Amino acid sequence: MPTALITGASSGLGLALTRALAQDGWDLVVDARGADRLHRATAGLPAVHRHPGDVTDPGHRAELVAACRELGGIDLLVNNAGGLGPSPLPTLGEFPLPALEELYRVNVVAPLGLIQLSLPLLAACGGVIVNITSDAATAVYPGWGGYGSSKAALEQIGAVLGAECTGSVRVYSFDPGDLRTPMHQAAFPDDDISDRPLPESVVPAFRSLLAERPGNGRYQAGDLVPGARA
């Protein structure tokens, strides 16, 4: 049974991927900051090992990787947990620097920390790293400078890592597009986002990425399944 480590599994895309991979027969090590919410969200799913905690905590990251090691290794690491920053979104000219530092700890340092700990296990089985990204990493949207620049940094980390691993591990940046998630609602606190697709809508594209294993790089959901939004 393959093993996946998914961060931020209590809601949104992380929960949708957890449900899908559990259905596909994966062993799953999952986390989220809220223990009660994580347990409620994943209750009843088979082969799900819950480890609530904060991915910015090095001890928590070590706990997650140790749990995977006990299951035999890591075939897939999904760096899904992330932060948005202050809401409403401030301009870069007014962005509180302590909040920016925290945002980079969540969106950049923590994923790289998990990658560093997981890499030997992933390389041993020809595993896959998927860093969840956003079009804000490549497009210019006023107010999105903090979040977008952190995702751009994560994409660059993935691109360089893919070149350094020389084929032992696949490394992808996966852009699901706008989804009906708590984070997206926080970005637009006064808007009705009910017209956005549910996170489950991009699961087929994610499954296609895992099944086809194209070359390292950045993929939008629509690149993988025609008609999927991204």
Q: What is the largest CA-CA distance in the chain?
A: 49
Look up residue 12 and give its two tokens: 């949104």
In angstroms, the CA 23 to CA 2 distance is: 13
Residues 24-56: pLDDT tens digits?
999 999 999 999 999 999 999 999 999 999 999
Residues 159-188: pLDDT tens digits?
999 999 988 999 999 999 988 988 888 888
DSSP 3-state assignment of 220?
A: strand
Peptide bond into 88 cis (omega under 30): yes
First CA to last CA across the chain, in angstroms?
A: 31
Residues 98-151: pLDDT tens digits?
999 999 999 999 999 999 999 999 999 999 999 999 999 999 999 999 999 999
Question: With b meaning 16 or more CB within 10 Å and e meaning fewer, what string describes 99-131?
Answer: ebeebbbbbbbbbbbbbebbbebbeebebbbbb
Q: Known catalytic residues?
A: 147
Residues 51-78: pLDDT tens digits?
999 999 999 999 999 999 999 999 999 9
DSSP 3-state assignment of 170?
A: strand
Residue 153 CB neighbours (<10 A):
17
Look up residue 45 and give its two tokens: 């799913």
For 78, counting Cβ atoms within 10 Å of its Cβ (0-12 exposed, 13-18 middle, 19+ buried), the class is buried
The number of CA neighbours under 13 Å toward the Cβ of 54 is 9
Report pTM: 0.95
**Arithmetic mean of pLDDT over the chain:** 95
Amino acid, res. 225: V
For residue 230, pLDDT beyond 60: no
The pLDDT of residue 167:
80
For residue 229, pLDDT beyond 60: no
